[in-house]
Amino acid sequence: MMVSLKDCIKEISGGVLIEIDVSPSAKKTEFTGIDPWRKRINMRVGAPPQDFGANRELIRYLAEIFGVKERDVSIVHGEKSRKKSVFLPVTLEKALDVIEREMG
């Protein structure tokens, strides 16, 4: 079974919910691929998990690449977990375009 980026992003009222698996304390923040079993986008985050540093860096990075305000990005599920559901106020098409561009 082939899992695509679209399987990791759900269109909901007002935007999208992106399923992300985070590896904190990396050298830089970046998308690293797709986990086909969990249907999540893998990301490295350049901040430690202590004091929600990785969450703040994740929100900062996503706001920057999507061109939205940090206050409009929210971690809906998984604030204390590596597995996160993140809300972004963008269309599904924009989410796919931006993430595909960032993944190279």
Nearest Cα neighbor of 96 from 58, 65, 73, 57 is 65
Domain of 57? 5-98
Domain with 59 in it: what CATH number? Answer: 3.30.1200.10
In the numeric block, the tokens 């098409």 are attached to: 93
Residue 104 lies in a domain: no
What DSSP designation does 54 have?
H
Q: What is the mean pLDDT of residues 60-79?
A: 98
> How do residues 5-63 score in pLDDT, each as one tens digit?
999 999 999 999 999 999 999 999 999 999 999 999 999 999 999 999 999 999 999 99
Nearest Cα neighbor of 59 from 93, 92, 94, 22 is 22
Query: pTM for this one?
Result: 0.94
C-alpha count within 13 angstroms, C-beta hemisphere, residue 32: 15
C-alpha–C-alpha distance, residues 75 and 84, integer Å: 7
Give the total number of structural domains in the chain: 1
Predicted pLDDT of residue 52: 92
